Amino acid sequence: MRLTTFSDYALRVLIYLGSAPQRLATIEQIAAAYGVSGNHLMKVVHHLAQRGYVETVRGKGGGMRLARAPQAIRIGEVVRTTEDSLALVECFEQDGDCRIARACVLKRALAEALAAFFAVLDGYTLADLLAPEAPLRRMLALRSPAR
């Protein structure tokens, strides 16, 4: 049981952007801060932009920033969009053909468990994840904002 790398990276991008609200960030900067491949982040950023979490500014000096306040970004909501499937087992899929699907209490139990999982994540917003502001900025090699 694991989230996709896509979800993991999407959340990392949001944490980066939320930690550096004063400027436009580039994919290269985010990739360097986490030590991951920029190629992997391209699709992630495209997804986040499509879903209205991130806005991009083109051209020289361009980059991206959060399109919503961190308080308005629920983590459960993000993960629901970034996971390509929430079909925990075969019978969650339309073409699943487990013979006992129609009498299966397990399916209901798993659906309840999944709902509980997301209920916890929906209790967190990006703002909660940004709370350790100073250590996050240090670990992401971001300069402290001029105050």
Nearer to a second copy by Cβ, of 62 and 90: the residue is 90
Q: Residues 22-51 vs a second copy: string with x where CB under 8 A?
A: -----------xxx----------------
Going by C-alpha positions, the residue among 9, 18, 32 that lies closest to residue 64 is 18
- Binder among 22, 59, 94, 103 for a second copy (CB under 8 A): 103
- Binder among 42, 69, 72, 98 for a second copy (CB under 8 A): 98
Residue 146 contacts a second copy per CB under 8 A: no
Q: What is the SS3 string spanning 58-125?
A: CCCCCEEEECCCHHHCEHHHHHHHHCCCCCCCHHHCCCCCCCCHHHCHHHHHHHHHHHHHHHHHHCCE
Residues 6+ apart with CB under 8 A from 47: 6, 10, 81, 82
- 8 Å CB contact between 88 and 136: no
Closest distance of CB 52 from a second copy, Å: 20
Binding site for a second copy (CB under 8 A): 1-5, 7-8, 11-12, 15, 33-35, 75, 83, 85-90, 97-100, 102-106, 109-110, 112-114, 116-121, 123-124, 128-129, 131-132, 135-136, 139-140
